[in-house]
Amino acid sequence: MKLLAVRRLLRIQRVVIRYRLDDLLFDLPLPWWLMTLRFAMPWRWLPRKPSPLSRGARLRLALQDLGPIFIKFGQLLSTRRDLLPADIADELMLLQDRVPPFDPQKAVALIESQLGAKVGEIFSRFDVEPLASASVAQVHAARLKSGEEVVVKVVRPGLKPIIAQDLAWLFLIARGAERVSADARLLHPVEVVNDYEKTIYDELDLLREAANASQLRRNFEGSEMMYVPQVYWDLCRPKVLVMERIYGVQVTDLATLADQRTDMKLLAERGVEIFFTQVFRDSFFHADMHPGNIFVSTVKPWSPQYIAIDCGIVGSLTPEDQDYLARNLFAFFKRDYRRVAQLHIDSGWVPAQTKLNEFEAAIRTVCEPIFEKPLKDISFGQVLMRLFQTARRFNMEVQPQLVLLQKTLLNIEGLGRQLYPDLDLWSTAQPFLERWMRERVSPKNVLQNLHSQVEQLPHLAGMTRDLLERMSQPHLNDPPPPWQQRDRWALRLLGAGLLAGGATLAAGAVSLSAPAAWPAWLMLAGGLYLIVRR
């Protein structure tokens, strides 16, 4: 593995030299000590002819040659036209669905080996030339024997070794950064790379993507905001996915959307609402929402509907993460910066000894200038830089479980900037968040939560009874056997869990004005009894 990783590093170096990426780097305003690296690169001392390619084309071709992890990085960059020169952004957009395809005959052979039958026996028509091609797979159009138009997605062969080598270097860099930099440790780079490793390998399993698409389709069944194509499960395998073919306009084809008189303001607002619906209502969100995966239906331009494809990467949040994010966003929309600061301290994102007033002032300084401005007037690059500076000052830690959500937010914001630059992000998101928080404390939801807690009571009661019976045995004056010590600790741990759960429930009931708080007091009383009893 180490030898393969070294070979991969040499391959990366050859690509950098071939496409003159070092020229792009040293054209940037770098510190003097980084500029001196030019003299440590021996190939820069050799005479070189000017490249006939533009800088954007060189960057795109380099990322394309280096494989899926680099291509995905380029896809993310392509959504942020506010942070890139136009010529580079235009080239990187080609990485979304126009990566050079692999040999179609290899695709046919893979489909036949996975499905156990000839292509002609499964489909009445199969287009050998791919419809689209991206970093992990390519797509072919086909028609089933029953007449339905479908697309067949096939995973690129030979990806795992390349991904494994790139990940080995990412882990090496992350571990090195954690050893030498206290600031890097706050970002938890090793955990971030570890999460990314799971994400990229999951994307290679098309059965997982099929399951994700089916779940997302159920979540938005009958919705006017978004449509998800049907999956044909009988024809799905780990490396082959067959699903309904959709017809729409790519979301970045602004000219076509304008020609059909699409309501761009409503389209942008629905994009924001879809995101918040996935995150807070469903806790299941499409996490690869670059423009190559998003289309717009042509049926009702006055009431535009999104069409989402490629559900290989999805994210979900725990109830605790949902609650934390909702409270932060709600306080943020209300400009209650003291509440935002207090939530960060309570959640452990910043050290407990952080001075609340100083942290509140820092957050206000970063956030206040962006309110009441449309997207076109907000420099998110500057906002992010100032947030990082604030993080360093207060030792604020990045939460690895939220990195996927942050990546999706970057995609959504970049997309909204292209569709309708005058979109008021705050006024669009705030009503949805307020509605979601009201629904959380509605009598129906409170009763559902109470019902789920009551269902656990017989199990907890049985455990408690068994433990109490074993602890009430004779030989009280003898040293307690090891099993009895473990049972006492088990009871105390159970009591601590009840105390923590009761405290959390009580806090939620008070802050959200829940109508029923008695289960919280019951849990608190039971937990206290189990801890203090002998």
Residues marked active site are found at 288
CB 284 within 8 A of CB 278: yes
The strand pairing partners of 123, in sequence order, are 144
Find where tokens 């980084």 sit.
34
Angle separating helix axes 189-203 and 206-219, nearest 10 degrees: 90
On whether 446 is known to bind a ligand per the annotation, the reply is no
285 close to 278: Cβ distance less than 8 angstroms = yes
Residue 146 known to bind ligand: no
- The token duo for 243 is 């699903």
3-state secondary structure of 138: strand
The whole-angstrom separation of Cα 89 and Cα 84 is 6
- 133 annotated as a binding-site residue: yes
CB hemisphere CA count around 226 (13 angstroms):
26
Is 239 annotated to bind ligand? Answer: no
Query: Is 105 one of the annotated binding-site residues?
Result: no
Does residue 211 have a known ligand-binding role? no
Give the separation between CA 486 and CA 479, rounded to whole angstroms. 13
DSSP 334: T
Q: Give the pairing type, strands 285-286 and 314-315.
A: antiparallel
- The verdict on whether residue 532 carries a ligand-binding annotation is no
456: buried, middle or exposed (CB in 10 Å: 19+, 13-18, 0-12)? exposed
Burial 108-131 (b: 16+ CB within 10 A, else e): bebbbebbeeebeebbeebeeebb
Give the C-alpha separation, 110 to 101, whole Å. Answer: 14
Whether 350 has a binding-site annotation, put simply, is no
Is residue 340 part of an annotated ligand binding site? Answer: no
Residue 165 among known ligand-binding residues:
no
Q: What H or E segment, with its residue span, contains residue 125?
A: strand 123-126
Binding residues for ATP: 131-139, 153
Binding residues: 131-139, 153
